[in-house]
Every structure is written in structure tokens, then in C-alpha cells.
Amino acid sequence: MDNWSSYRHPALPLRDLGLACLGAGEQSGLLPSFAGRTLSSHGIVLVSEGSGHFSVDGRRFEVRAPAIMWLFPGVSHGYGPEPAGWNEHWLLFTGPMARAFEELGCYARDSPLLQLDGSSEQDLMESLGLFPALRAALSVGGHHSDLDASLLCQRVLVEAGKHRNHGASGSPRDEEKLLTRLHEMAHLPLSLPQLAASLNVTASELRHAVQTATGVGPKELVIQLRMSRAQSLLADTDLPVQRVATLTGYDDPAYFSRLFTKKTGFSPTQFRRDHHRKSRH
């Protein structure tokens, strides 16, 4: 792995309104350790090989690859490899969207270190695969490359954020199958206990699996899936709103209309008027 680092002063709109990539790099080998550093931005360090240590506000952690270290503004930290060295890939970012990523569960201040296992190594490699493109974007001037770097940064954060609850009971493959079945059954008029029973898990297991994989509870996920189905039916068909409600799991069309309006900002009739795809030939 080539050692490289690139820093950037991105366009102000990204810093003030979105998410800006301030820099990135990759280093390997016996790198110097440090302690007591405080950043004014967010950061992420992915360790793909080797082992070492990571300290945050007086807490010390042992790090063993694969691992993800999250750095937060104003929080004192330090890290470094053992004498055998390690491979690290780092990224600095800032902007109001950083708070959105935190609130949506990509990272948490009380879990600055994510120690992954072998089953997540391939997913981690997908994140690392974005670093060559990041390097290229950061090496070119102009607003277009600022936008490229911002989008690549967001993709790294999303991929890394999927591992926040890694290590919970159940394999990723089992959870993927459970979510697939949940998607298939979301339109059925079932309560959470009934839905869990149909999936052969307890309500608690279902809640945990969905929260781990998506960052929301099963009730909210079912509503999201139902609203998406309702939007497609309203846009693609001429079915009455009452029938759309039934097909998305709601026996009470008035309740469906209120919920649809709350979640989308439009009544079913308004949404159909604006998005209906019926041919006008």
C-alpha cells in the first residue's frame, strides 16, 4: 500500500450546509504513536491490518484489525500501532450533515471503537475501495472535485456506519434473510407480535435485528415500506385510495390518509395529482 495524505479546504457551501471532506490518507508500517490530540472536525480511522492502541478521553482500548475508530470534535484522543505496525486509512470531515449521520446511527460518541470480526472484513474492504477515488478527487482543484470528495466521504461513512451494532446475536446472513421476509410481509395487516411470530422470532429479536440493520425500529420500518408501496400504487395505477390503503395494510382509509399525509407532506389525492404516470396520449 502506498503511503499518501491529502488535505483540502473545500467550498464554503459544503462546510456550512452539507458535508465537506477535509482530507484523507493511507499509511502502513510502524507509524508514530501520539496522544492528547484534539480535532476541530470529525474523523474516522479504519485499521485493515495489524494491531495497536486507541485512547479517548482517558479511556484506553486495544485495537485489532479489522477495526474502526471514530474521532469527534473537541475530544482528546491518541492512537498508534504495535511494533509490528499496521495499515490505517483515515478521513476527516465536517459540516452540519455530520450531525445527521450521528443522529441516524452511523456513529456514536459512546462507542468510539468498533472491533469487527472476520465476517465484516469484506464489507470493510468495500469502504477501503473508495480511497483511491478519494485520493484522485482531493488532488484536483475546483468545486466539482469538492463535490466528488464529499460524496465519496458520505459513502465511506455509510459503509462504516453499518457496523456500529456489529457483534449482536445472529449472523449478518440470518439478519439479511429476516429483513427480506419482513419486506415481503410489511403490507400485511399484522401487529408487531403477529409479524414476529410469522417470521419465527420473538418481538424482541425482531426489534433488535431491525434496529441493528436499519437504525430504526420495526414499526417505523414497516410504515416506511408501506408508504413507499402506497406512493408507487398512487403514481402507477388508478386504484381508488381506499383500495391503495387496503393493499398497503390499512383497513381504515381515513387513518391511512392521515398517516400518509403526515409522513409524505401530501394527501394521497395530492400525491397522485403531482406524480401520476398514466399516459396522456
Contacts of 235 (CB under 8 A, 6+ apart): 271, 272, 275, 276, 277
What is the predicted pLDDT for the residue at 6?
95
Long-range interactions of 239-245: CB distance < 8 A, separation 24+? 241/268, 241/269, 244/268
Quote the cell numbers at residue 34: 501520539
pLDDT digits (tens, 9 = 90+) for 111-139: 999 998 765 556 677 778 899 999 999 99
* Whether pLDDT at 1 is above 70: yes
pLDDT digits (tens, 9 = 90+) for 140-165: 889 999 999 999 999 999 888 877 65
* Whether pLDDT at 86 is above 90: yes
| Residue 133: half-sphere exposure toward Cβ, Cα within 13 Å | 16
* Whether pLDDT at 168 is above 50: no
The C-alpha atoms of residue 88 and residue 80 are separated, in whole angstroms, by 10
What is the predicted pLDDT for the residue at 167?
44
Read out DSSP for 195-219? Answer: HHHHTTS-HHHHHHHHHHHHSS-HH
pLDDT digits (tens, 9 = 90+) for 219-248: 999 999 999 999 999 999 999 999 999 999
Quickly count: other Cβ atoms within 10 Å of residue 271's Cβ.
19
Q: Across residues 160-181, what is the average pLDDT?
A: 68
What's the mean pLDDT when you consider all of the chain?
89
Name residue 54's amino acid: F
Structure confidence at residue 166 as a pLDDT band (50, 70, 90): very low
Inter-axis angle of helices 172-185 and 203-214, nearest 10: 100
The dihedral formed by the CA atoms of 205, 109, 150 and 126, expressed in degrees to the nearest 10: -50
Q: Across residues 167-171, what is the average pLDDT?
A: 46
What is the predicted pLDDT for the residue at 178?
86
% of the chain with per-residue pLDDT over 90:
67
Find the angle CA(102)-CA(220)-CA(208) to the nearest 5 degrees: 70
Q: Across residues 25-39, what is the average pLDDT?
A: 94
Beta strands 4-7; 59-64: pairing state:
unpaired
Q: Across residues 45-71, what is the average pLDDT?
A: 95
Q: Across residues 69-97, what is the average pLDDT?
A: 96
Most confident option among 6-10, 170-174, 204-208: 6-10
Structure confidence at residue 103 as a pLDDT band (50, 70, 90): confident
What is the predicted pLDDT for the residue at 172?
56
